[in-house]
Amino acid sequence: MEDQLIQKLENEEEIYKELMVQINSYITDKDILKQIHKAYLLAQRKHKKQKRETGEDFIIHPIRVAQILADLKSEPNTLMAGLLHDVLEDTNLTFDELKLAVGEDIAHIVERTTKLTKIVFNQRQRQIENQQKMFLAMANDIRVVLVKLSDRLHNMQTLKIMRPDKRLRISEETLTIYVPLAHRLGLFKIKSELEDLSFRYINPEQYYRISRLINMKKNEREKSIQKIIDNIQTLFVQSNIKNFSISGRSKNIYSIYKKMKQRKVSFEEIFDLLAIRIIVDEVDACYRCLGIIHSNYSPLPLRFKDYIAIPKPNLYQSLHNTVLSKDGTLFEVQIRTRQMDEIAEKGIAAHWGYKENKIYSKQDKQLEIAKKLRWYQELIKITKDSDNDLHKNSQNFVDSIKNDILTENVYVFTPKQEVYELPKGSTTIDFAFFIHSSIGYRMTGAIVNGKIVPLEYILKNGDIISIRTNKNIFRVNKKWLNIVKTSYVKKLIKKFFNKENIELVKNGKEILDKELYNHKIDFVIDKNFLVENFKKQYIQNINELYIAIANKKINCHLVITKINSFLAMKKRFQKK
């Protein structure tokens, strides 16, 4: 039976005690704990007498947000920002007063979170502009997005009281923006819950159908999993594997639905609903465990994935495989170390995780994250690029990040086995520019897996790509704009031609001006003249004429001849 989202009005004192138990499990410094309590008292005082649409005291919401952050073992300033994230928007407290009360760092996190909060769902342009603000805020301080994701998760947990149309809009936005963000940041638990909560309101019929089917054979599956776990534990003990833990793992409803759609199969045909997770101390033990499992269970072809050797872009590492037991039971196996498991569950939050007696620097942490996450480097590049026209167009900016950063990726290799991640649908041209823009501009061809391929070849996972170039000539072509996938590469190609066109306009003008001077012609070329004389060449303005002259597509003497003819005709007409 489905759990109720809102069972009863929650007790503030009880859930605050729960929060402090969570926080005390990893923060013991009494001075820091006093600061956190002080932040809570400020939030409590400012939200006094305020109610949420659920009927609960408003303060319940920031406490729940702080609990989600504490579950990620967030550092103290992030926790305090979680408790205070609504005070600037929903109370009379000013930024300066907040800064005085809790310090500049926390006040800035709250202020930036506040800027992301008010989304007007019936105004598409306003919504896009707010999404743009969120991406800009994330590039500046990733803690802002951790607070915002926690805020969104609790709002989704209490969404049931909203109007149906509002529920749908919020759920669709959550699935399109917040779920990919949580995925990119490696926040698996938050991502899975956001997916299921969104799916419940977007497609309730399928959600409840899959939920029912899962529960129908729940006991049977649990018995099968326990039998497998018991057998593997025995095998590991016999093989002297130390300090391991094995647990069953259930897949979330939305991930099952996605598999059904992608594979075009029914629920009954999804064979890897059973899953176990094995946690060990060392990387070597991961591969030893895999060997033991393969010796006792039959691995399925093409199902093995080594994310330890090649981590996912969100730093996720694990060995994955699907195997078959002797009684015909199929199940998925994940094997990883404890450190990998922490990153798998908490993602980038594990890097912001609090450790006693450690000095925290926002700048150092942001730099550390940027070094580890290539997509985060790309986000910073997009948001910091001073001549990036995307800033002026919110729609293009958001589309660029959705298409280049939040989309599904493929992983490809250079001949030197360097790994590159590109958006799904990328071409060899995209790849060339991702290596370096100078390689993209000089690209003449591509070899994939030892075979020559056309430039528009769509990259696949595992492709080994070699780019051919001519170091003496720029081979970039305007037609590539219709081939490439990423906004980043399109921008580079456009930038090249804009820069080149400026030079060509300058050169073409100098050539024509010199000829006009030599022929002693004083004439201003206007649009009517161009339409009448260069219609076949598709010349529509003076700059296009200059470029055609500089490129030697139009002979300058032809222009002089046409000007002379025009002037002669004009003279004859005037005599009449």
Q: Determine the Cα–Cα distance for residues 70 and 33; give it in Å rounded to an integer.
A: 13
Cα–Cα distance for residue pair 248/273, rounded to 1 Å = 11
| 336, containing H or E segment | strand 330-337
Q: What is the DSSP letter of 480?
A: G
Give the number of other Cβ atoms within 10 Å of residue 507's Cβ. Answer: 15
- Render 174-202 in DSSP notation, one character per residue: IIIIIHHHHHHTT-HHHHHHHHHHHHHHH
Alpha helices in 264-419 (DSSP H): 283-296, 338-346, 349-352, 362-372, 374-384, 394-404
What sign does the CA torsion over 235, 336, 257, 67 have?
positive
Give the C-alpha separation, 528 to 532, whole Å.
6
**Residues designated catalytic:** 89-90
**Integer Cα distance of 564 and 288 in angstroms:** 86
Q: Which residues lie closer than 8 Å to 455 by C-beta, 6 or more apart? A: 427, 428, 429, 443, 445, 446, 480, 483
Report yes or no: 116 and 81 within 8 Å, Cβ to Cβ.
no
Beta 245-248 vs 443-448: how paired, if at all?
unpaired
Please name the amino acid found at residue 562. K
Residue 188 — left, alpha, or beta (φ > 0 → left; ψ -120 to 50 → alpha)?
alpha
Give dist(CA 330, CA 62) in Å, integer.
43
Residues 6 or more apart whose Cβ sits within 8 Å of residue 112: 137, 140, 141, 144
Cα separation, 553 vs 560, whole angstroms: 15
> Dihedrals φ, ψ of 417, to 5°?
70, 25
Give the side-chain half-sphere CA count within 13 A for 228: 29
The contacts of residue 96 (CB under 8 Å, 6+ apart) are: none
